[in-house]
Amino acid sequence: MSTIKQFEDLLAWQRSRELVREIYKSLQNCRDMGFRDQIQRAAVSVMSNIAEGFESGTRQEFLNYLYIAKGSAGEVRAQLYAAHDIGYLNIETFKYLKGLAEECSKLISSFIFKLKSGGQPGIQYKQEKSKAQREREEFDDYLRKYIEEKKTNPDAKFDEGRFKK
């Protein structure tokens, strides 16, 4: 295990970056500029506050930024419900993005707990991915590709058996 020296190594930041990318992709054709701008800014806020907090001077400052990031993740989830209810997102995309936003919240909460329990910013450790994490990433990649294919091929089928144990 090696010490994390930059925010890019934080799993919470990596997943929030993915959230930003996926929200931008999923809503790129949304004509409601006000809505699109708000959800995109909320997603970017998650990623940016993790980075800014990591680079800040004290543990308390880092915690404050993490709380802001967690709040922004909640804002993204609320806006995803609105996007689905209004018809901007289909159910598959909504579930995928909501799951990603929830994962960001959980990772941030875990990090907050670790820091409040005495951990030092930057003295966290990289961990090898568990089998469950690798399987989740494989599933997420498959789901992302399925959603993209569904946009161009409405007859595309989801292979549920591929991930059953």
- pLDDT tens, 82-141? 999 999 999 999 999 999 999 999 999 999 999 888 765 554 444 556 667 777 777 777
Question: Among 52, 50, 39, 53, which Cα is nearest to 17's?
Answer: 50
pLDDT of residue 1: 47
112 vs 37: CA distance, rounded Å = 28
Question: How far apart (Å, rounded) are the C-alpha atoms in residues 58 and 124?
Answer: 15
Q: What is the pLDDT of residue 95?
A: 97
pLDDT tens profile 20-64: 999 999 999 999 999 999 999 999 999 999 999 999 878 899 999
Indicate the burial class of 39 (C-beta count within 10 angstroms; 0-12, 13-18, 19 or more). buried
- Superfamily of domain covering 7-118: 23S rRNA-intervening sequence (1.20.1440.60)
Total residue count of the chain as it appears in this document: 165
Q: Domain map of the chain by residue range? A: 7-118, 127-164
CB–CB of 15/137 below 8 Å?
Answer: no
Q: Record the pTM.
A: 0.72
State how far the Cα of 122 lies from the Cα of 59, in Å rounded to an integer: 10
